[in-house]
């Protein structure tokens, strides 16, 4: 059974069509990367799948159910691009991750032992258990991103949908959540992620879908690193980034403002 099925989807904002006739099927256990340039419509595609953007034409099914009738949202874990801008009101890492349990337990039941255990498990998985009582604002960008992955994992979803999880994230955090995603995929989970570049996530990807100007331009195995990127001892250093010490992978700081 397909986990996500998009058929001839067309989406527009305020009269301008962003996606034209997009079809995509993601099977159970698959790890699919949606690639594309800024403004290509790749984020709109997953936001439409999640119901955050209304579908203009076409049909979307989640776990075999038409999206409009789909109620089993606990099976879907969403990882947005970044922690909401937030406000001055502090919140601990544990409190943010605990939000991920609401889909499972509903809004009427208070948090129980199973919820607390799931929060701790998820934070352990992304390597942030020691920060559980710290305010999220004291975390680095990469650690905040891992917090958001933990929030999604805490709900024990079958499908993870990630929007640009590697944008502007330090190398250590990229490795940490590549590992967490790897364990999720190994346990049979399905992943759809939007990315600008794959980085350490590349080995996980079964299939890449390239979106260009609102259409699917290419579908197939993830693009191989070309040229000197493919050399075994290649240090991935962006020439436009600040020159770093040898052996250190520089986070692409110029890519923070994706979409």
Partner 1 sequence: MDLFQYDFMIRALLGALIIGLAAPALGIYLVQRRLSLIGDGIGHVALTGVGVGLLLNQSPVLSAVVVAAVGAVGVELIRERGRTSGDLALALLFYGGIAGGVVLVSLSNDASSNSLMQYLFGSLITTSPQDVTVIAVLGAAVLIAMLAFRPALFAVCNDEEYARVSGLPVRALNLLMAVTTAVTVTIAMRTVGLLLVSALMVIPVAAAQQVTRGFRSTMAAAMAIGLVAAGAGVVVSAEADTPPGATTVILALAAFVAITVGAAGLRLVRRRAQPPREVEPPDVVLQEAGVR
Burial class (CB in 10 A: 0-12, 13-18, 19+), 167: buried
Question: Between residues 21 and 134, which has the closer beta carbon with respect to partner 1?
Answer: 134
Beta strands in 40-158 (DSSP E): 57-62, 65-66, 76-79
Question: Between residues 171 and 179, which has the closer beta carbon with respect to partner 1?
Answer: 171
What are 187's two structure tokens? 């346990």
Question: Between residues 147 and 222, which has the closer beta carbon with respect to partner 1?
Answer: 147
**Interatomic CA distance for residues 63 and 80, integer angstroms:** 21
Nearest distance in Å: CB 217, partner 1: 27
**Interatomic CA distance for residues 30 and 33, integer angstroms:** 10
* DSSP per-residue codes, 66-92: EGGG---GGGEEEE-SS-----SS--B
Beta strands in the chain (DSSP E): 2-13, 16-27, 31-35, 57-62, 65-66, 76-79, 159-163, 190-195, 207-212, 215-220
**Interatomic CA distance for residues 167 and 122, integer angstroms:** 21
Positions touching partner 1 (CB under 8 A) are 50-52, 71-74, 76, 78, 80, 83-84, 86-92, 94-96, 98-103, 107, 110-111, 133-135, 140, 142, 151, 155, 170-172, 242-245, 248, 250-251
Question: Between residues 36 and 80, which has the closer beta carbon with respect to partner 1?
Answer: 80
Nearest distance in Å: CB 41, partner 1: 18
Nearest distance in Å: CB 221, partner 1: 29
Nearest distance in Å: CB 226, partner 1: 25
What are 79's two structure tokens? 């990882």
**Interatomic CA distance for residues 32 and 245, integer angstroms:** 33
Structural contact between residues 21 and 214, judged by C-beta atoms closer than 8 angstroms? no
Question: Between residues 135 and 182, which has the closer beta carbon with respect to partner 1?
Answer: 135
Question: Between residues 84 and 220, which has the closer beta carbon with respect to partner 1?
Answer: 84
Question: Between residues 206 and 244, which has the closer beta carbon with respect to partner 1?
Answer: 244
Structural contact between residues 11 and 52, judged by C-beta atoms closer than 8 angstroms? no
Nearest distance in Å: CB 170, partner 1: 3
Nearest distance in Å: CB 57, partner 1: 22
CA 35 from centroid of its chain's CA atoms: 12
Nearest distance in Å: CB 66, partner 1: 15
């Amino acid at each position: 059974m397909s986990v996500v099925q998009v058929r001839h989807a067309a989406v527009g904002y305020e009269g301008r069509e962003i996606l034209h006739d997009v079809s995509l099927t993601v099977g159970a256990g698959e790890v699919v990367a949606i690639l594309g340039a800024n403004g290509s419509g790749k984020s709109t595609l997953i936001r439409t799948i999640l119901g955050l953007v209304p579908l203009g034409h076409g049909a979307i099914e989640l776990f075999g159910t038409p999206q409009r009738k789909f109620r089993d949202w606990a099976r879907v874990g969403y990882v947005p691009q970044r922690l909401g801008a937030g406000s001055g009101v502090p919140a601990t890492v544990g409190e943010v991750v605990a939000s991920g349990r609401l889909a499972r337990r509903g809004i009427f039941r208070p948090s129980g032992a199973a919820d607390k255990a799931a929060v701790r498990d998820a934070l352990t998985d992304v390597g942030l258990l020691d920060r559980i009582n710290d305010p999220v604002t004291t975390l680095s960008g990469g650690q905040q991103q891992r917090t958001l992955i933990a929030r999604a994992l805490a709900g024990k979803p079958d499908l993870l949908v990630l929007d640009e999880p590697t944008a502007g994230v330090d190398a250590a955090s990229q490795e940490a959540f590549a590992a967490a995603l790897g364990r999720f995929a190994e346990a049979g989970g399905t992943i759809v992620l939007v990315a600008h570049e794959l980085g350490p996530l590349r080995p996980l990807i079964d299939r890449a879908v390239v979106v260009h100007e609102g259409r699917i331009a290419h579908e197939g195995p993830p693009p191989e690193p070309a040229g000197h990127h493919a050399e075994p001892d290649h240090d991935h250093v962006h020439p436009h980034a600040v020159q770093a010490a040898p052996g250190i992978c520089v986070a692409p700081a110029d890519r923070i403002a994706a979409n």
